[in-house]
Structures are given as C-alpha cells and as structure tokens.
Structure 1
C-alpha cells in the first residue's frame, strides 16, 4: 500500500482532461480525483459524472477555499495556465500544467519565481519523456554507450483544416502563444532537447502557408547543441500524411521513433553502426516497457510526491524548452541566429513569442 493517497483536482474539463482522469484512475489507491473545476457548470457536471468525481466548483479559488488537495491538474486553454498555476503555488498546492505552461518567457519566469516562494512545485506535461524507450535512450546517451551524438531530425507533420481553427482561442498569439511550434511540435522537440542536452544556437524560419490564422502554420529550425550535435526541427499543420518522427544519429547507432500522438515500444528502432552490433543488446535489455502517456508522467509525479521531491518536468526544464521556442520565433522573424540566453528582459521576444510582429501581420490571411 502507498504511504498516502494523493487527493487531486482537475481544472478545465475539455478533451485533454479525460487523459488526466484516466491516468489518475490507473494510479489506483495512490491518487483520488475529488473535484473538478469549469466555468461551464453543465460540462463540469457531465465530466464529474462520467469519471465518478464527487464535487464540482465554478472556479479554482472556490476549489482551493474548500478542498485540501495535494495536486491540481491544469487542463485549461493556454492563456490561463500561468495565472492559475501561480494561484495554486501561492496556496501551497503542487500543480501539473498542460503544455505550454506559459505564453512567453516573461510569464515562465513569473511562474518559476512563484515556485521559489512557495512550498509547492510546478510541473509541465511532456509525456513523451516518460515512455520506457525514451528513458532508456537518455540513460544510454548520458552514459556515452552510443558514442557522441552527431545529428538529429525532429518532425511534427500534422494536418489541421480550417474547421479546426473555429475554436476562438486557436491560431492566436494572444490566447495560444503561437502555432504548431508552440502547441503541437513542442512535445517532439522537448523530447529531442531532453536527449541531446543544452542547445547553443537556433536559425529558423516560420511561415503562414495555408491557414487563415494569426500565427504560423509551418516552422523550421537548424539547431546547434553544446555537444556539437546539430539537428533539424520541423513543425507543420498543413501535412496530409501525418507523422511524428525523431531520429538520433550517434557514433555507434541510429535510434528512431515514428508515431503520431503517442509511441509504444514497437515504434522505436535501433540500427548499429558497422562493428558496433553490441549496442543492440543494450537496447534489448530494457526491462518492463511502457508507452508515452499521461499515465507514465502522473506515476512519476506521484513517485516524487511520495519522496517529497519536485515532480518532473520542473520549471527549469520547461523554461529551457520555452526559451527554445522563443529563440525559434526570434530567429524566424528577425532573420538572425539566436543563441541560448540571448533573449532577456527588454527583448520584445521575452514578452511575446511574436516579438516584433510576424512578417505577415499586415497582410490578409491566405
């Protein structure tokens, strides 16, 4: 039996909230979902009835005033993530927030500052980090078992038609913070960054090719890492054959994964370099397998809470990914390379991801 059962609440009962509810249910006695919050009472009530949640609240403030919860899951639209996460931290409640955790580096730093003054913690949902193959790859890379990382490719090629953007807050800098770079490819390149470590420089472009939105619908980046490795990152919402793909070329092996919205063990392959066939045994010596999922990350969060540790992915981890996004947009919109640490307070791309403005801002949408 676990040392304690962690009482949880979900704020925002849209589609992604179902993944959180399922992950909490899979945790068994380790967690109990005791309340949900949504400004639309009927939707919240229907969600609560479906998942067997006893109480419904109209606001986070009402929840925090009445419930002694250990963990809040933020599943609201992105614009609300930072203020609601800070509200949780100020109340001493740990919060697991859906991506992106903030709409800008400025907001991200406000969130990190709130965590520093709180007894609680903030973690961001990046569930692709938690599948067994990704954990294994990071372990092998960190131990240099695969040799030096040389080259990587990261592609999130998805398709969203005009009807998708009928949701008012999608495709807007003010409410979503960006296009596929911010809201879709973020999972793939967060996993890329978690494997390859600190990045040094980004050279990028972004374009609005087909969708009547304020943000980009395509972006591309060339990335240099502190290790010397180089990578390409492509994010798209205009690609009819959808795929999510990562490839890592190390000195001794190529490791690849291709999936769509979540991988399993069978989606990964390893190809040894000539003379290095022994790497296959290291890859095969995997132990229990698990897919990328909210369940995997929620389990890791509960493990951390049991130990009294900050849950993964920490504010500092998420900030690294957010800074990469800001650098990509800054490079794309200025035409200049952007180095890690370059975007500081006072830089227009620190306050907003579109910074000085998208090049197409004054042009009619296609």
Structure 2
C-alpha cells in the first residue's frame, strides 16, 4: 500500500474542527494531518495542541515550504478560498476546498489554470454527491431506467439567526460572497446539477428579508434543461422549520430525498409509476458526509488517479450560480454559456 497522504489544514475554526478533523481521523492509515495554519496564529497553535497536530504555522507560505504536503484541506472564510487554492496548487499540492470554491467564474478559471500548470488536483467539497443513494440514482438516470426526467424541485429551507451573522465576515458580499444561495443552497443545487447536468437557462429572483445584510436571505429560480425538463429551486435562511429536499419526477418514477444536513439511504424514497417495477436498490449505505467524500478523494489520490469530483466539473455549478444572480439582478433569463470574460458578472456574481 502507498504511504498515507501528508495533509495540512488551513483554517482552525468550526468547519475544520467539526467536519475536516473527524474525517481525517476516520481515515487513519490513509491520510495523516501533519500541520495546521490559520490567520490567527494563536488559534492555530491552540488547535494543534488540542488535537495533537504535530506542527502549527503562522502563515501558509511557510507551511507549504517546510511541509510539502500532498493534500491541503481549506476551511477558511469563503472569499479566501480561491487565492489559497491557487497558492497550494502552485506548490504542487492537491486541494480539498470548502464551498463555495470561489467568488466568480474568473477566479474559477484561474484555479483551473493553476491546476493544469501544477502537479495537484483541486477537489471542491461537494459531499452530498458522495452518498451511496445519490450515486445509485445517478446510475439509474444514466441507464434510462427511470425514463427521462421531467420535473425537479430543490429546496434548502434553513434558519440562520443573529448569532450566525454575528461572525464579522458573514452576510457581506466581499467576504461571504453570497447568502442563502451560495452558502446554504449550494449543496442541494450542486447535487441537482450533478444528477441533471444539462441546465440551459435560469430565471431567478433574490431578496434580503428580515436581516440587515448585504447578501440575500432567500432566492427562487426556475430552471430549464436542454432536455426540456423544468426545475424549481428555493434557498432560504429564514425557515424555522428546517429541511432540505430534492424531488425528481421522471417518466417511470418519482424519487424523493428529505433530510437536513446529511443523508443516508433511509432518507430517500422511490415511487414507481403505475405498472412499473421498483428498481431502487443502492448497493451500500454510505452517508453523504465529509468522511465519505474525503475517503473517496484520498483513495483516488493515493493510487494516482483523477478524483471523482474536480474543479473542471464544478464549473457547471459556479456558472449556474453566477447566472442565477445575473438573472435576479437584471430581471432577465440567463442562458448557459452566456457569461464570458467581457461580462461584468464574469468577475463578480454581483456584476
């Protein structure tokens, strides 16, 4: 077996402590955490001491120079992701970066250029793709077992109150990038577009209701796919009765997912159309989690193959989110492929 990947962690906050660190611990023998850095050097040192990380660094440049990690886990505020990712790729490290990966299509394309020029891969953390039920559904759709998709509903109805937005970088366009759509709804949106990748046009509206923020607290969108299928999307941080849901109505069956932040097979149901067989039989029960997603990523990196989820593939989601904001801010539908380098929305989701 190859040696464990030597991993470094950038960011020592909540998501690092509660998602990335448990995932690394669960993969002992495949990946080992050798160093951590944070914008607050004291917090990095305290994190290293508490969690027995061998070394803490005051800055990323020194960490990369001294450690030469195989993999860097990025768990920092949203607007820092692109620059950190590019710096790590230029140091020939692979990157496992929290969502949103970047603030614009321009930043995304810069990440792709750095990835092509370097020796590592950029893997966005889209852990909802990793659950065994979602992978089974994708296989059924690809095989045509369910018939053509006709209608999709994708809802992220979460609640984020004053305590959440008390963190200084949240709720600001320059630091959080976006609100309910790019910070919360992105998980379900990416899952939908991973299952049905041929989106063609989006018409959207956003609003900042009941919170004193720069970013949106609710968005709604109608999506048309190249196949003719339609989808309705709602993302909210104003919903005390929280839930995440995805529904696909295909010719031969309806498939539904109801959960909150992490699902397993029990959260999915398939209802066949009258007279149709029930093909629902996921081969395993792997939850959609950082641990599952990182395990699949590490396995590919250790055998020298391309990760399943790449920055190239994730561009579809970034382009869609950009188009959603452009539609909402201009009041017009936006087609896929319509935002090029000369468009102000290419360099900022807010135009």
Which residue in the other structure is 1:362 paired with? none
Is 1:323–2:319 an aligned residue pair? yes
With normalisation by structure 1, the TM-score equals 0.93
> Aligned partners of 2:132 and 2:302: how far apart in 1?
21
The secondary structure found in structure 2 opposite 1:283 is coil
Please tell me whether the aligned partners of residues 124 and 312 of structure 1 are also in contact (alpha carbons under 8 angstroms). Answer: no
Q: CA deviation at 1:45?
A: 2.4
How does 1:200-349 map onto structure 2 within 5 Å?
A: 200-276=200-276, 278-279=277-278, 282-284=279-281, 286-349=282-345
Please tell me whether the aligned partners of residues 162 and 212 of structure 1 are also in contact (alpha carbons under 8 angstroms). Answer: no
Which residue in the other structure is 2:346 paired with? 350
Which residue in the other structure is 1:363 paired with? none
Q: 1:158-196, CA deviations, whole angstroms, 9 ceiling, x for partnerless residues? A: 111223211111111111111111111000010000001
Which residue in the other structure is 1:360 paired with? none
Please tell me whether the aligned partners of residues 127 and 290 of structure 2 are also in contact (alpha carbons under 8 angstroms). Answer: yes
Which residue in the other structure is 2:11 paired with? 12
Q: Which portions of structure 1, spanning 4 or more consecutive aligned residues, are displaced by more than 6 angstroms?
A: none
Please tell me whether the aligned partners of residues 104 and 322 of structure 1 are also in contact (alpha carbons under 8 angstroms). Answer: yes
> Aligned partners of 2:13 and 2:330: how far apart in 1?
36
Across the aligned residues of Structure 1 and Structure 2, the Cα RMSD in angstroms comes to: 1.1
Q: CA deviation at 1:287?
A: 2.2
> Aligned partners of 2:348 and 2:210: how far apart in 1?
23
Which residue in the other structure is 2:74 paired with? 74
Instruction: Please list every run of 5 or more consecutive structure 1 residues that lacks an aligned counterpart in the other structure.
Output: 356-366
Q: 1:12-52, CA deviations, whole angstroms, 9 ceiling, x for partnerless residues? A: 01111121111111112111111111122332223223322
Instruction: Please list every run of 5 or more consecutive structure 2 residues that lacks an aligned counterpart in the other structure.
Output: none
With normalisation by structure 2, the TM-score equals 0.97
The secondary structure found in structure 2 opposite 1:224 is strand
The secondary structure found in structure 2 opposite 1:21 is helix
Please tell me whether the aligned partners of residues 173 and 353 of structure 1 are also in contact (alpha carbons under 8 angstroms). Answer: no
Q: CA deviation at 1:211?
A: 0.8
Which residue in the other structure is 2:130 paired with? 130
Q: CA deviation at 1:319?
A: 1.0
> Aligned partners of 2:210 and 2:12: how far apart in 1?
31
Please tell me whether the aligned partners of residues 221 and 232 of structure 2 are also in contact (alpha carbons under 8 angstroms). Answer: yes
Q: 1:274-321, CA deviations, whole angstroms, 9 ceiling, x for partnerless residues? A: 011x22xx312x222111100111111112112312223211111110
The secondary structure found in structure 2 opposite 1:100 is coil
Please tell me whether the aligned partners of residues 45 and 57 of structure 2 are also in contact (alpha carbons under 8 angstroms). Answer: no
The secondary structure found in structure 2 opposite 1:332 is helix
Q: 1:186-207, CA deviations, whole angstroms, 9 ceiling, x for partnerless residues? A: 0001000000122100001001
The secondary structure found in structure 2 opposite 1:123 is strand
Equivalenced residues, count: 350
